[in-house]
A = this chain, B = another copy of it.
């Protein structure tokens, strides 16, 4: 085996972090992950990418809204009528959005203030106590990820990258996949432009979304239920540094589908 093969021969692994308690407002997630990994004998290693479900980050930051507090505007009532959803929920979604991308019966796709294009602005009722409460996306998921990264470094001494993931649907294809909505400590894109392919031809269009692929991989052990909101992804090569999730967002002037 050559050097690359030696390094890669273990492959990549996603390890679920079991046993995390229900997350409440103010929970220090980095500390909690470190404690639970120790309890599970699955301590993070240098180079791991820690994938954390958006839902627990939102809960820890109290990024939650009671529907009963909402006073929907006329616009929210009209949009609610179009999409067939609770006007109070639609008001929450509108508050999280800079514009509506598509609205038809049963489907409301918006661009969030962060720049994510997704259904319902990521506002979600699943896995939350109480029927009348929804989570919204963290205000700044990169900042949330950076706090978790620093806490993990402080507690464990390990240099890891952090991904905050959420489950998005997509145009054209059925089935949701997990994507990154926040990152810290690493470059979320693996830019292979300028490198050579197997026949020594320069690769012209190969920028891989490392962070999204890692988020999708983690989903395979996290699941939608089952209370596994964190996974360690081991064996992926990444470039460390200060980067933002905005690297994953295509500028609207280069996008053909909004």
Q: Which residues of A contact B (CB under 8 A)?
A: 1, 4-5, 8-9, 11-16, 18, 102, 104, 107, 109, 117, 125-129, 131, 167, 170-179, 188-190, 192, 195-199, 201, 203, 206-214, 216-217, 219-221, 224-228, 231, 235-236, 247-250, 255-258
Contacts and interface: CB of A to CB of B under 8 A. Distances in A.
Contacts of A212: 173, 175, 177, 216
B227 A198 contact: yes
B11 A172 contact: no
State the oligomeric state as a number of copies: 2
Nearest to A226: B4
A127 B217 CA distance: 26
B224 A203 contact: yes
B188 A175 contact: yes
Contact of A210 (B8, B131, B175, B256): B175
B221 A12 contact: yes
A98 to B, nearest CB: 14
Pairs A-B, 5 closest by C-beta atoms = A175-B209, A171-B257, A217-B217, A11-B15, A216-B216
Contacts of A224: 192, 197, 203, 206, 208
Given A8-B18, A173-B212, A177-B216, 19 more contacts: A5-B16, A8-B221, A9-B16, A11-B13, A11-B231, A13-B13, A131-B201, A171-B250, A172-B255, A173-B248, A173-B249, A174-B250, A175-B190, A175-B248, A196-B225, A197-B225, A203-B225, A212-B216, A217-B217
Contacts of A192: 224-225
A17 to B, nearest CB: 10
The CB with the most chain B CB atoms within 10 A, among A102, A117, A178, A212, is that of: A212
B201 A126 contact: yes
Nearest to A129: B199
Contacts of A171: 117, 171, 250, 255-258
Given A12-B13, A12-B14, A198-B127, A209 B109 contact: no
Contact of A9 (B9, B11, B18): B18
A221 B231 CA distance: 18
Contacts of A18: 1, 5, 8-9
Contacts of A13: 11-14
Of residues A196, A221, A227, A228, which shows the largest number of chain B Cβ atoms within 10 Å of its Cβ? Answer: A221
